[in-house]
């Protein structure tokens, strides 16, 4: 299983969202940063808290020209119900074959599908990899901090 690290080019992907639309990382390149967060399962306490945390901070991400995208192996229909119940303004992608999870090197932790967040800049470069199974809401703060740091970094030409 490949392991994606800070500084790596993020692999492109194509998966279906809760509205059954096809979503590709490439659609955002050059336009927006992407926070791609992998979580274990819809409707579980930690995953619900994490999703609601991203929802509650969504405006801060949007203001930073960033799109939030959640990924789990749940079905499109499960994502549709979860998104509606939690009033999520962002996309949830169905990785039922766990291919994207494998492509990004997100392994299982404590017997559960891993909880890992990747911050990907507009050029497709990974700027943060944050993994914590037991601290789901810390992913939001870490992602916002990484985006702020990237924005404040001096530009090189």
Average pLDDT value for residue range 59-69: 96
Write down the domain spans for the chain.
Answer: 28-152
pTM of the model: 0.92
Handedness of CA 62, 56, 90, 93 (dihedral sign): positive
Rounded CA Rg of the chain: 14
pLDDT value of residue 103: 94
Average pLDDT value for residue range 64-87: 97
Encoded tokens for 62: 């949007």
Residue 1 has pLDDT above 60, yes or no: no
Known catalytic membership, residue 86: no
CATH topology of domain 28-152: Glutaredoxin (3.40.30)
- The one catalytic residue among 25, 47, 68, 92: 47
pLDDT value of residue 156: 42
């Amino acid at each position: 299983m490949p392991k994606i690290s800070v500084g790596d080019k993020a692999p492109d992907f194509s998966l279906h969202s809760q509205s059954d639309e096809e979503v590709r990382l490439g659609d955002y390149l050059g336009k927006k940063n992407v926070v791609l967060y992998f979580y274990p399962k819809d409707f579980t306490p930690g995953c619900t808290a994490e999703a609601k945390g991203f929802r509650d901070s969504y405006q801060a991400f949007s203001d930073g020209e960033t799109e939030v995208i959640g990924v789990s192996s749940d079905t499109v229909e499960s994502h549709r119900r979860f998104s509606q119940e939690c009033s999520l303004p962002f996309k949830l992608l169905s990785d039922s074959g766990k291919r994207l999870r494998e492509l990004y090197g997100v392994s299982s932790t404590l017997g559960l599908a891993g909880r890992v967040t990747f911050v990907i800049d507009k050029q497709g470069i990974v700027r943060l990899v944050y993994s914590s199974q037991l601290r789901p809401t810390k992913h939001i703060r870490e992602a916002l901090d990484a985006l702020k740091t990237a924005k404040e970094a001096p530009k090189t030409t």
